[in-house]
Structure 1
Amino acid sequence: MLSRLQLLVTRRLDGLLQGDYLGLLPGPGSEAGESREYRPGDDVRRMDWPVTARTTLPHVRQTVADRELETWLAVDLSASLDFGTGRWLKRDLVVAAVATMAHLTARGGNRVGAVVGTGAAGPAPGPAAGRVSGVRRLPARPGRKEAQGLVRAVATTRIRPGRTDLGALVNMLNSPPRRRGMAVVISDFLAPPAQWGRAVRKLAVRHDVLAIEVVDPRELELPDVGVLELVDPETGDLHEVQTADPKLRRRYAEAASAQRTAIATELRAAGAAHLRLRTDSDWLLDTVRFVAAQRHARTRGTTR
C-alpha cells in the first residue's frame, strides 16, 4: 500500500519543484539577498528598514534559494483522525500528506523529521515531566530512504484513545530552537484555536509554516438519514442524533462553518499557508493546485 502511495505521489508531483527552490512551498529561502520595493501582500517580517529609510519608500529584503532545507512535520494522529465517510479515512489523508511533503523535500541533502501525536494528551509523569506523553519523535535525516522510512513509521503508528494536545505538539518544533526552515502542521484542527494558535504564531516567527487541514464532509453537514448513533472516537461517548430534523441539520452546518472559519482565521493571523484536504475529493489534485498557486503568488511578490 505504501509503495503504491509513493509511486502515485512521485508520478503526479515529480517536476513541480525542479531546480533551486525558494524555501519550498510557502515562501522564499532564508539567505539574505538584494532588496526590492514593497508590493501589497509581501511579508512585513522581511522589511528592509535601512533601505526604506534611505529611499523613503518601503522595501523588502529578497532571499536566495536555500541549498539545504530542514523540514519538520507536526503530525496529529488523534482518535478523531480514525474516521471517514468519503473515499478515504482522515488518517489516510494524513499519511498521504506526510508522503507528499517527504517527496517534495527529500532531495539535495535536505533533511525531514517529524513529531507524531498519538492521542494520549497531557504531560508525561515522573522523570519525563515537561515532555508530552503519546508523542513519537522521528529525527530529521537526509535521503530518500530515510524519508520513506519516516512515512512508513507514521503509517504504522497506532492511534490511541484521546486527543493530542496540538499546541504542545507544535511547541515541540519550537524547542530546541532550530535553523530557519520549513514547518508543516498536519491535523484536523478540531481543538479550539485558542489551544494551538499561539504555538503556530510562535513557530511562524522563525520558520515558513504550512498547515494541512484534513476534513470529512460529515464534519461540515449532516445527511437526512433518520436516527444516527454516533460514537466520539476520542472519548467513547455514544450519541443518538435525529438527522430528519431540518433545524438541527441547519444548526449543525452553521456551527461547522463557524468552526472552520475560526480555524482559517487563526492560521491566517499566524502567517501560515493553509491547505485543506477532504476525504471525498482528489487530495493529490488539491495539493498540485495549492503548490501551483503558491508558486504563482511568489512570482507576483506575495508569499501567502
Structure 2
Amino acid sequence: MKAEELLKKVRRIQIKTKRLVDEAIGGEYHSIFKGRGLEFAEVREYIPGDDVRTIDWNVTARMNFPFVKRFKEERELTIMLIVDISPSMNFGNNNKLKRELLAEICALIGFSAIENNDRVGLIAFSGKVEKFITPKKGSKQVLAIIRDLLELESNGKTDIKSALEYFLKVQKKKSIAFLVSDFHSRNFEKQIALASMKHDLIPVRIYSKFETDPPKGVFKFLPLEGEKPVIVDFSSKKVREVFKENVRLRDEYLFNLFNKYGMDYLNLETSDDIFKAFHKFFNMRKRKLKR
C-alpha cells in the first residue's frame, strides 16, 4: 500500500471511530471497565454521617479531632490488542476485507481507551508475533497501531497459541485484552484458559458471510496461509451442506470454548455496523455487572 493511500485510510478510520467514541461509546467503555481498585486520595475532617470505618485513627490521635480517609478509583487500565494479521484476514466481501474491519475495531477500542486515560498496546501476529507495541497513552499511539494493522506484512498460518504465550510473557499485570481473529487456528485452548484466568480476555471473531454461506457457483480459492489454490463447486447441494456443517461445528466449538472459561465475546461479519455491535456488547456487560 502506497504511503498516501495508507494515510488516507488511517485518517478515514480515525474520523469515523473517534466520532463514535465521542458520541456514545467512550462513556459506556468507562462504565464497564473498572480500575484495579481504590487508592488513597486524602484525609479530611470528619463530617456527621461519614462512615466511621473510614476514620484515620493515627491522624485523629495527633489532631485531637476525628479525620477520615478518602479514596478514589484507581482508574488507569492497560488495554492490549492481540490481533491476527495472517493472510486469511485479507479476505472479505461487501467491499471490506476482514483486515480493514479489524483496524476499525481496534481504533474504536483504542480511542475509547485514551479518552479514559488508559494505556493501549498491540501484539500483531500471524504464524508468529510480527509486531509488539508497548502500552502507552495518547492518540499518536492509537494512530501508530492503526497504521501497522493496515501495513504490516503477514507470514504463515494463524497461530493463536504462540500469540497468547507471548502475551502472557510480556504482560505480567492484569489487563483487558481483545483477541481479534477469524480463529482459523488450532491447539490454543490451554493458552486461552491461562490468559482468561489472569486477564479480562475478550475474543472478537471476524468472518466474511462468504465463509459461512457461500453463493452457488464454482469458485477458485487463492492460496491462503500456505495452502494451494482450491476449486470448489458450490452449485452442488452436497458440497454446500458439507461446507455449512463444517462451519457449524467450528462455530459450536468456539462458542463452547469461550463459555467454558466465562469469556464475553463478539462475532462480527465484515458488513456489520461496529457501533451497534459494541453498543450491544457494552450493554450486555453492564447487565452482568449489576447482577
Distance 1:134 1:252 in 2: 31
| 2:192 is the counterpart of 1:184 | no
Matched residue, 1:98:
106
Distance 2:20 2:103 in 1: 16
**Paired residues for 1:112-191 under 5 Å:** 112-117=120-125, 119=126, 121=127, 133-160=128-155, 162-191=156-185
2:247 to 249, 256, 261: 256
| 2:227 is the counterpart of 1:221 | no
Please report how far the alpha carbon of residue 111 of structure 1 lies from its aligned counterpart in structure 2 after TM superposition: 0.9
| 2:12 is the counterpart of 1:10 | no
SS where residue 164 of structure 1 aligns?
coil
| 2:81 is the counterpart of 1:70 | no
8 Å contact from structure 1 (residues 22, 65) kept in 2? no
Structure 2: give runs of 5+ residues left out of the alignment: 1-8, 40-71
Distance 1:106 1:96 in 2: 15
Please report how far the alpha carbon of residue 78 of structure 1 lies from its aligned counterpart in structure 2 after TM superposition: 0.7
Identity %: 20
8 Å contact from structure 1 (residues 22, 29) kept in 2? no
Distance 1:20 1:72 in 2: 15
Please report how far the alpha carbon of residue 109 of structure 1 lies from its aligned counterpart in structure 2 after TM superposition: 3.4
Distance 1:109 1:12 in 2: 17
Please report how far the alpha carbon of residue 158 of structure 1 lies from its aligned counterpart in structure 2 after TM superposition: 1.8
Matched residue, 2:54:
none
Please report how far the alpha carbon of residue 189 of structure 1 lies from its aligned counterpart in structure 2 after TM superposition: 0.4
For the aligned residue pairs, the C-alpha RMSD in angstroms reads 2.2
Please report how far the alpha carbon of residue 296 of structure 1 lies from its aligned counterpart in structure 2 after TM superposition: 3.0
Q: Partner letter of residue 287 of structure 1?
A: F
**Paired residues for 1:278-289 under 5 Å:** 278-289=269-280
Matched residue, 1:52:
none
8 Å contact from structure 1 (residues 86, 216) kept in 2? no
Q: Partner letter of residue 213 of structure 1?
A: R
Please report how far the alpha carbon of residue 74 of structure 1 lies from its aligned counterpart in structure 2 after TM superposition: 0.9
2:30 to 12, 21, 42: 21
Q: Kindly tell me: are residues 265 and 243 of structure 1, through their superposed partners in 2, closer, same or farther at Cα, counting changes over 3 Å? A: same
More helix by share: 2
Matched residue, 2:37:
31
1:138-178, Cα deviation, whole Å (9 max, x unpaired) = 11111222222222222221233x21311110121111452
8 Å contact from structure 1 (residues 23, 181) kept in 2? no
8 Å contact from structure 2 (residues 208, 269) kept in 1? yes
8 Å contact from structure 2 (residues 32, 286) kept in 1? no
Matched residue, 1:130:
none
Q: Kindly tell me: are residues 207 and 139 of structure 1, through their superposed partners in 2, closer, same or farther at Cα, counting changes over 3 Å? A: same
TM (normalized to structure 2)? 0.79
8 Å contact from structure 2 (residues 81, 177) kept in 1? yes
Please report how far the alpha carbon of residue 23 of structure 1 lies from its aligned counterpart in structure 2 after TM superposition: 5.8
Distance 2:76 2:264 in 1: 21
TM (normalized to structure 1)? 0.76
Distance 1:179 1:30 in 2: 10
